[in-house]
Amino acid sequence: MNLYRNLSDHELVELLKSADDAAYEEIYKRYWALLFRHACKILHNEDEAKDVVQDLFTALWTKRREINLNSSLSSYLYSAIRYKIFDLIDKHKVRSRYLASLESFIQEGQYSSEDAIREKQLAVLIEKEIAGLPEKMREVFELSRKSNLSHKEIAKKMGISDQTVKKQIYNAIKILRPKFGLFLIILRFFSAN
């Protein structure tokens, strides 16, 4: 019998703060489906809703010691998911504006200061997403993309195999591509010129 099922949200949060995996799992079981449905109602996209909820639970674990509940755990989680959804919507707006300005640039050959501002905003979003990658994956990805090191050079520098380097880069791109897709390539093109 799972003893954690009988604990209150407050008790679970206290256990979570002390890195109790079972308390985290119980909170996940209690709230994942509810938060997912709430995110789906707002986003109308199941994949994005899953990503947002997963981001929330990842943040809940990584920032567990900082949790300070002024109300119930459900209120805390619903507020957090709304914040993440609004953040995602803002990112979509920046991407949409950037795509519109890129289309204008392609059609008219004009690149305005507003385009430069949008490019910088997108660069900040991309850097934020890269910073959110797991530590080893982020380090491999940055050595590859920013320092332009070969897989062999990265493997030697980090003391890991070429295959591990390839896998880490593949996984980083797999995480970043759905969020930015073509924008990563475009941004790289503009920053190279």
Check whether 24 has a pLDDT greater than 90.
Answer: yes
- Non-local (6+) Cβ contacts of 48 within 8 A are 39, 88
Q: What is the third-level CATH fold of 114-192?
A: Arc Repressor Mutant, subunit A (1.10.10)
Q: Region 35-42: what's the mean pLDDT?
A: 90
Q: Region 117-137: what's the mean pLDDT?
A: 77
In CATH, the number for domain 3-86 is: 1.10.1740.10
**What is the location of CATH 1.10.10.10 in the chain?**
114-192
Rg of the chain over all Cα atoms, to the nearest angstrom:
20
Long-range Cβ pairs for the range 10-19 (8 Å, 24+): 10/69, 10/73, 12/73, 13/67, 13/69, 13/73, 16/60, 16/61, 16/64, 16/67, 17/64, 17/65, 17/67, 19/64
pTM over 0.85: no
Q: Which residue has the higher pLDDT, 122 or 66?
A: 66
Check whether 90 has a pLDDT greater than 80.
Answer: no
Percent of the chain with pLDDT over 70: 75
What would the two tokens of residue 27 be? 């909170």
Helix (H) or strand (E) holding 57: helix 46-62
CA 174, CA 181: separation in Å to the nearest integer? 10
Check whether 188 has a pLDDT greater than 50.
Answer: no
Say what the pLDDT of residue 114 is. Answer: 60
CA 8, CA 104: separation in Å to the nearest integer? 55
Query: Most distant CA pair in the chain: distance in Å?
Result: 67
Q: Region 143-147: what's the mean pLDDT?
A: 79
